Structure 1
Amino acid sequence: MSQTFSNNDQIGVVSTFSELINANFKGEMNALCWERNLDGDFKEIVSKLQLKENITEVFREDLLELKLSEQGKTAREIILNDLQLLTDFGASPSLNLLKNYERDEEFDFISTDVYSYHVDRSPIGTDTFLCTYHGAASDIIANDQVEQKILIPEVRQKLKDLHNGSEEDFETFLREYFFDLHYQPKPNAQPINLGLGNLWRLAVDHPEQKVLPCIHRAPVENNGEFRLLLIC
């Protein structure tokens, strides 16, 4: 097991998919990692897939059509198995070939795109699952190492100016436009990179959640390299 993950209070490390879905978040732990060193050539798969948009969903049929080396076939089987495990669990996994996500450049004082540290919110009890097979991997950060952006005085004042409405409606405005989901790292904060091949389960903000939601961000992509990401 990785010392980085197993010695961190925020992360629970497991060795099977069954443990990943059945373990409970508790205390400071709001991220679970099925830590894996995967065989196979995932770069070959990425090189043979067709990017149709900046984010292109890759389906099972697309993978099966690829002419691959033995190492490529090994990688494909791993991906197909992960998709099947999550589907059988009741999730709706999506495999994405990524050039980049859309940037939020509307405001210069707050960003609400996925490159900003944020939490996921759901009205129902659910979790976020993700695995990066190729390319830059996502980061998480401990909840006590960040500040909610809407609580930063200068940001809050600019949001109030933008809202230009009653104080009673302001909190609703912050939620409606997802400003409240985003966080700013404190000085000397230490993000944790999720690495390649690991399948993660991250706590989501929902009414039944007993722990704080896991704060995470998409990475800036490596120059000239696509990401292959499973997420649901």
Structure 2
Amino acid sequence: MNNIFSDSSQIGVVSTFSDLVQTNFKGEMNALCWYRNLGGDFKEIVSQLSLEENITEVYPEDLIALKLSEKGNIARGIILNDLQLLTDFGASPSLNLLKCYERDDEFDFISTDVYSFHVDRSPIATDTFLCTYHGAASDIIANAKAEQKILVPEIRTKLKELHDGPEEEFEDFLKENYFDLHYQAHQDAAPVNLGLGHLWRLAVDHPKQEVLPCIHRAPVENEGEYRLLLIC
């Protein structure tokens, strides 16, 4: 399949939902992309939805109630189908209309919000699925091109000062505050933008995971534009 993601050893590309959920991660590959060129007018859907606070969950009945053009109706059908596919698979998808996520500005030397490169962690075997239909799309980065922030000497020193407790409890402190989930990209790193319309499956840190978790981040939103994002 000829597309912009084919050249990355981190990314596997599939052409069906069945392949997306059944293909095993292996080696450096910890991201799978169901590559799609979607028709339909997703902007029309966004323009008719109402935002409450900075993030609003959109339910199937909200979509069904919209009065849409032919292209808007095509876009709605795609979203509803994606939600159904994931639900039937056993996932719990959420469709979000969002202006922005909450920022973490508590510390000036480390950030733990979703705009920072990070991995997802779960106590059970699961994966992260996401698709951006409208607005800015997320980025991923190769694990070899990033370093855990807690291993950066100057950051680690400041975290130890913040901990101010017994040395043997320091690693637990890092996990309890999610500091260990966040990464700093190398200067020569080239993040891959996930684009619009593709449904992605990203590896999560869990006990049965055989590959490294996928490092990703939320994008800075485009000025005056909402994102429409499916995630679970």
Instruction: Give TM-score, length-normalised by structure 1.
Output: 0.99
- The superposition leaves residues 4-45 of structure 1 with CA deviations (integer Å, 9 ceiling, x where unpaired) of 311110000000000000000000000000000000000000
Residue 212 of structure 1: aligned partner: 212
Residue 158 of structure 2: aligned partner: 158
Residue 38 of structure 2: aligned partner: 38
User: What SS does structure 2 have at the residue aligned with 1:4?
Assistant: coil
Structure 1 unaligned regions, length at least 5: none
Residue 104 of structure 1: aligned partner: 104
Structure 1 letter corresponding to 2:131: C
- The superposition leaves residues 21-79 of structure 1 with CA deviations (integer Å, 9 ceiling, x where unpaired) of 00000000000000000000000000000001201000001001100000000000000
| 1:68 equivalent in alignment to 2:76 | no
> Runs of at least 4 residues of structure 1 off by over 6 A?
none
Q: CA RMSD in A?
A: 0.6
Residue 172 of structure 1: aligned partner: 172
Residue 225 of structure 1: aligned partner: 225
Task: Report the Cα distance in structure 2 between the residues aligned to 1:145 and 1:32, rounded to whole angstroms.
Answer: 19
User: What SS does structure 2 have at the residue aligned with 1:162?
Assistant: helix
Task: Report the Cα distance in structure 2 between the residues aligned to 1:61 and 1:30, rounded to whole angstroms.
Answer: 34
Structure 2 unaligned regions, length at least 5: none
Task: Report the Cα distance in structure 2 between the residues aligned to 1:223 and 1:214, rounded to whole angstroms.
Answer: 27
Residue 142 of structure 1: aligned partner: 142
Residue 132 of structure 1: aligned partner: 132
Deviation at 1:2, TM superposition (A): 4.4
Task: Report the Cα distance in structure 2 between the residues aligned to 1:231 and 1:3, rounded to whole angstroms.
Answer: 23
Residue 120 of structure 1: aligned partner: 120
How many positions carry a matched residue from both structures? 232
Instruction: Give TM-score, length-normalised by structure 2.
Output: 0.99
Task: Report the Cα distance in structure 1 between the residues aligned to 2:134 and 2:102, rounded to whole angstroms.
Answer: 20
- The superposition leaves residues 73-118 of structure 1 with CA deviations (integer Å, 9 ceiling, x where unpaired) of 0000000000000000000000000100000000000000000000
User: What SS does structure 2 have at the residue aligned with 1:95?
Assistant: strand
- The superposition leaves residues 142-192 of structure 1 with CA deviations (integer Å, 9 ceiling, x where unpaired) of 000001100001100100000000110000000000000000000110000
Deviation at 1:3, TM superposition (A): 3.7
Matches within 5 A, 1:8-87: 8-87=8-87
Task: Report the Cα distance in structure 2 between the residues aligned to 1:111 and 1:179, rounded to whole angstroms.
Answer: 8
